[in-house]
């Protein structure tokens, strides 16, 4: 078939078959007129050289399957983190597009909500976002490689996660490095398993430095998590937390709050209680979601958990699973966080 096509190309272009072959391999010693004539014939016949076909298949991704990857959001937790969601999804979309793959996006909390392509098994891989997938949903997913875009409690699929323990350690190092010896960890019970891990890392790093941490955690509605609360419920919980924080003696001067949204409400409540952030207490937060922190003065330091890197690495790991379907080992990739200084550091 290849020889017959090159013969047809030569006849149409008015050149020999050997000249056609030289044009295909980009031989340097050819007249521009012959090159143009052969390329025009290739275009007219719809001819694609074998080498180019291999390159196109490579760009099209690691498999000859459907060319689809599903990104499924399995709970409501992403709604509290709009900035992280936007950055991570953009990174996932770009990485899939660069691999020549299509992204199917859906919010799925029930097996009956699966997109038709996923339900048919017309996907090469699946990326999940959420903290806990129901067993019924996991059983309904097609047998394809699965990866996660968030901290979770399931035992299926590869993980590409922010280094939550490292987040806590960075927060402790930040406060200890500014001379604080009375530290507190302030949080709300969450569906996000990473928040507790951040607290563990914070306490461990402080303990290593010989400093005790006061834990102030609202777990009165454990099993629900603040991701499901409305604004009034969140405000009420923070009032409860700040009251207990300020009633403790000796009062903490260094405070780690592991989520920017909680931090924004805590900051306002401290000001209402005549406690001056940046003077009476130093706060460090986490996630680097600017919309929550922008209106705070002074804006506290926060920790960037690398949502763009997380999204891209999750796609990269999923493609590796697709290429090597017989390698069933689970892999966890951790993205190292970094501190983003606040206004008092800049000043």
What is the total count of domains within the chain? 3
Q: Rounded distance, CA 99 to CA 5, Å?
A: 30
Same domain, 154 and 169: no
Q: Report which listed range, 154-168, 191-205, 254-268, is most confident.
A: 254-268
Whichever domain contains 140, its CATH number is 3.40.50.2300
User: Taking all residues of the chain, what is their mean pLDDT, rounded to a whole number?
Assistant: 83
205 and 287 housed in the same domain: yes
DSSP H helices in 192-293: 193-208, 231-247, 260-272, 290-293
* pLDDT for 221: 74
pLDDT at 175 over 90: yes
In this structure, what CATH number is given to the domain that contains residue 43?
1.10.260.40
If asked whether residues 214 and 292 sit together in one domain, one would say yes
Give the range with max mean pLDDT: 38-42, 161-165, 287-291: 287-291
**Distances in Å between the alpha carbon of 176 and those of 39, 60, 186, 204?**
68, 50, 17, 13
CA 185 to chain centre: 25
User: Do 209 and 293 sit in the same domain of this protein?
Assistant: yes
Number of helical (H) and strand (E) elements in the chain, helices listed first: 14, 12
Q: Is residue 297 located within the same domain as residue 315?
A: no
Q: Which domain holds residue 286?
A: 164-304
Q: What is the pLDDT of residue 60?
A: 43
DSSP 278: T
The pLDDT tens digits of the residues spanning 315-332 come to 988 898 888 877 777 777
Higher pLDDT pick, 97 / 19: 97
- For residue range 34-67, list pLDDT tens digits in order: 778 888 888 777 776 654 444 444 444 444 477 8
In a domain, 346, yes or no: no
Residues 189 and 299 grouped into a single domain: yes
- The secondary structure of the chain in percent helix, strand, coil, rounded to multiples of 5, reads 50, 15, 35
Q: Are residues 157 and 190 in the same domain?
A: no
- Dihedral sign, Cα of residue 220, residue 226, residue 230, residue 235: positive
């Amino acid at each position: 078939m290849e020889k017959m096509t090159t013969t047809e190309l030569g006849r149409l272009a008015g050149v020999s078959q050997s000249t056609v072959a030289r044009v295909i391999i980009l031989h340097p010693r050819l007249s521009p007129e012959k090159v143009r004539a052969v390329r025009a014939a290739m275009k007219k016949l719809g001819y694609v050289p074998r080498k180019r076909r291999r390159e196109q298949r490579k760009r099209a991704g690691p498999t000859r399957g459907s060319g689809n990857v599903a990104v499924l959001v399995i709970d409501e937790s992403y709604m509290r983190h709009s900035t992280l969601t936007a950055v991570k999804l953009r990174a996932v979309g770009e990485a899939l597009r660069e691999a020549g793959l299509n992204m199917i996006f859906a919010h799925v909390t029930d097996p009956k909500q699966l997109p038709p392509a996923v339900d048919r098994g017309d996907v090469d891989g699946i990326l999940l976002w959420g903290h806990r997938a129901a067993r019924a949903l996991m059983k309904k997913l097609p047998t394809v490689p699965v990866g996660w875009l968030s901290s979770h409690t399931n035992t299926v699929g590869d993980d590409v996660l922010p280094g939550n323990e490292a987040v806590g350690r960075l927060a402790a190092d930040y406060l200890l490095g500014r001379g604080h010896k009375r530290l507190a960890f302030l949080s709300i019970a969450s569906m996000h398993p990473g928040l507790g891990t951040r607290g563990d890392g914070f306490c461990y790093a402080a303990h290593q430095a010989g400093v005790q941490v006061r834990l102030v955690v609202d777990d009165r509605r454990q099993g629900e998590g603040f991701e499901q609360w409305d604004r009034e419920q969140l405000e009420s919980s923070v009032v409860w937390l700040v009251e207990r924080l300020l009633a403790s003696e000796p009062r903490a001067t260094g405070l780690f709050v592991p989520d920017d949204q909680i931090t924004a409400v805590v900051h306002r409540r401290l000001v209402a209680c005549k406690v001056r952030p940046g003077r009476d207490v130093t706060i460090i937060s986490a996630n680097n979601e600017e919309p929550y922190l922008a209106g705070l003065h002074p804006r506290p330091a926060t920790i960037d958990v690398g949502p763009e890197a997380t999204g891209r690495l999750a796609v990269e790991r999923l493609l590796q699973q697709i290429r090597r379907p017989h390698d069933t080992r689970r892999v966890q990739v951790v993205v190292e966080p970094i501190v983003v200084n606040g206004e008092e550091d800049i000043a």
